[in-house]
Amino acid sequence: MAIKVLHHGLATTVQDLGRPGYFHLGIPVGGAMDRYAMRAANLLVGNDEGAAGLEAVFIGPKLEFTEDALVAVTGADMPAKVDGVAQPGWTAFEVKAGQTLTFDFLKSGARICIAVSGGIDVPEALGSRSTYPIGALGGFNGRPLAAGDELPVGSGSLASEGKSVPEAMRRKPGMPAELRVLPGLYWHRVTEQSQENFFADEWKVANEADRMGYRFKGGRKLDFVEREQPFGAGSDPSNIVDSCYPYGSIQVPGGTEPIILHRDAVSGGGYFMVGTVISADMDLIGQLQPHTPTRFVKVTMEEALAARGDRRAALTRLREALA
């Protein structure tokens, strides 16, 4: 069983739930930007949640199937078509041998997850099939898909055709998008006024938004508390002695444009960070398009943990709904 890539879309990569354990060597966890959507897609087609699927951003790929398979598309609203016939999102549908899967224009969100029964069966690298393109590691030959590629697919069953995630369980960012942030790390480096402004201002997703990080524009510039720069930090007040960067951490080079690091994050560097997006909201970031108005919402650790608990409960309900 294989899938022939007729067109790669914009940037389509093989992703699973990531490759934890190597961040101390600069190799990020990677994996689907929208983990909930990837888990849902896999459950819909009868796979393990951690099976490898495809993640496509903004434009879907064109894929020809060599054998019958069950497919589900979740995440962004980008309608799938089988030989030109529209298919519902968040629902398992069959693609027969010789048929071609294409996609309509993106209506909302940014990234789709495509799961195929049996999973994309590329070899594991460091315990994961996720693609880390900078390191040419994992996925299909360590890179995004290209026309002419043939993706190996594991063996699955067609048992669950028609299964669907209930509408209320399909998670989407609001408008404006709200991302909950726990202030910390080098938060003390900016003035109280700038701390207030950061959460009061409306930001917009910039064009530089990818799997490594999402940049935001439009809020007021942050002012720094004056200090003599520590040895080794560099002369700009936004510089620090190079440290690790948490996933979801928000660095603001020069105090102007916040950047949230995501699944393919660089593991460290010399810019100060104001805080970190909480784990419950990481999935939402991958569904933000450029120019999306976004607010950062200040939360406490207890609120972050409660939100995490809510997401865990939502995942349990999803598993029950698709069991």
Q: What is the DSSP string of 51-80?
A: S-EEEEESS--EEEESS-EEEEEEEEE--E
> Between residues 21 and 176, which has the closer beta carbon with respect to another protein?
21
User: Binding pattern to another protein, positions 179-218, x when CB under 8 A?
Assistant: ---x-xx-x-------------------------------
E-strand stretches of the chain: 2-7, 12-15, 53-57, 62-65, 69-77, 80-82, 85-87, 92-95, 100-103, 108-116, 150-152, 177-183, 203-209, 213-217, 239-244, 249-251, 259-261, 268-271, 273-277, 293-298
Residue 273 sits in the site that holds another protein (CB under 8 A): yes
Residues 6+ apart with CB under 8 A from 175: 292, 293
3-state secondary structure (DSSP) of residue 284: helix
3-state secondary structure (DSSP) of residue 232: coil
CB of 107 to another protein, least distance (A): 31
CB of 323 to another protein, least distance (A): 21
Stretch that binds another protein, among 36-44, 87-95, 178-186, 215-223 (CB under 8 A): 178-186
CB 214 within 8 Å of CB 111: no
Residue 315 sits in the site that holds another protein (CB under 8 A): no
Stretch that binds another protein, among 9-17, 82-90, 202-210, 232-240 (CB under 8 A): 232-240
Stretch that binds another protein, among 5-13, 15-23, 48-56, 60-68 (CB under 8 A): 15-23
The binder of another protein chosen from 276, 287, 292, 294 (CB under 8 A): 276
Residues 6+ apart with CB under 8 A from 62: 5, 6, 7, 9, 100, 101, 102, 103
Cα 46 to Cα 254: distance, rounded to the nearest angstrom: 48
Cα 178 to Cα 50: distance, rounded to the nearest angstrom: 27
Sign of the torsion formed by the C-alpha atoms of 237, 239, 240 and 244: positive
Q: Record the tokens describing residue 178, joined without a space.
A: 């709200």
CB of 86 to another protein, least distance (A): 39
Cα 323 to Cα 319: distance, rounded to the nearest angstrom: 6
Residues 29-48 that bind another protein (CB under 8 A): none
Residue 50 sits in the site that holds another protein (CB under 8 A): no
| Site residue total, another protein (CB under 8 A) | 52
DSSP conformation class of 200: H
Residue with token string 């224009």: 105
CB of 22 to another protein, least distance (A): 8
CB of 32 to another protein, least distance (A): 17
CA atoms within 13 A on the CB side of 218: 18
> Between residues 184 and 218, which has the closer beta carbon with respect to another protein?
184
Residue 132 sits in the site that holds another protein (CB under 8 A): yes
Cα 73 to Cα 40: distance, rounded to the nearest angstrom: 9
CB of 289 to another protein, least distance (A): 24
Residue 297 sits in the site that holds another protein (CB under 8 A): no
CB of 223 to another protein, least distance (A): 19
Stretch that binds another protein, among 7-15, 87-95, 149-157, 239-247 (CB under 8 A): 239-247
Residue 152 sits in the site that holds another protein (CB under 8 A): no
The binder of another protein chosen from 312, 313, 317, 319 (CB under 8 A): 312
User: Binding pattern to another protein, positions 241-270, x when CB under 8 A?
Assistant: xxxx-xxxx----------------xxxxx
- Which residues sit at the interface with another protein, rule CB under 8 A? 20-21, 23-27, 125-126, 132, 134-137, 142, 182, 184-185, 187, 230-235, 239-244, 246-249, 266-270, 273, 275-280, 301, 304-305, 308, 312
